[in-house]
Amino acid sequence: MKKQKLSLLVLFVILILSSCNSGKKTSDEIVKDDTSAVVKGESSEVVQEEEQKIEIDVMGTVKEINKGKDGYTAKIVDETGKIFNATISIPNLKDPKQYRSVAVGEKINVKGESFASDPNNYIVVRELLK
């Protein structure tokens, strides 16, 4: 009787573990899914989308922090009053050792990619400096 219960328990655990991993996509699969939608259009659209990425360096004061799954988004206001939404996460940083939490009111310097067509000034942070 105990062997049957143990066997059922082991089978149940294996079933749960295998079903958890089957629905997950790797980052490569996600990128392929995202790019396939763009590639279906004209090839000039893909080139234009790549050209719209702008390398940007922003220094400012953190006004708001919104925590996310892999990091956080910091609303940064620079000296001219322009607002930037900087997404800061370990996977996006060139050097993961740069990752740190920041506090509201702290001055930070970030470098990353912005998109020319985005009026909301979103930045994917690649370097988090002091």
| Predicted pLDDT of residue 5 | 74
| Predicted pLDDT of residue 112 | 95
The answer to whether 97 touches 78, Cβ cutoff 8 Å, is no
| Predicted pLDDT of residue 60 | 95
| Predicted pLDDT of residue 36 | 46
Domain ranges in the chain are 2-49, 53-129
| Predicted pLDDT of residue 43 | 46
Specify the CATH architecture of the domain 53-129: Beta Barrel (2.40)
pTM greater than 0.85 (yes/no) = no
From first to last of the 130 residues of the chain, give the pLDDT tens digit. Answer: 777 877 777 776 776 766 665 555 555 555 555 444 444 444 444 445 455 788 999 999 999 999 998 899 999 999 999 999 999 999 999 999 999 999 999 999 999 999 766 677 899 999 998 7
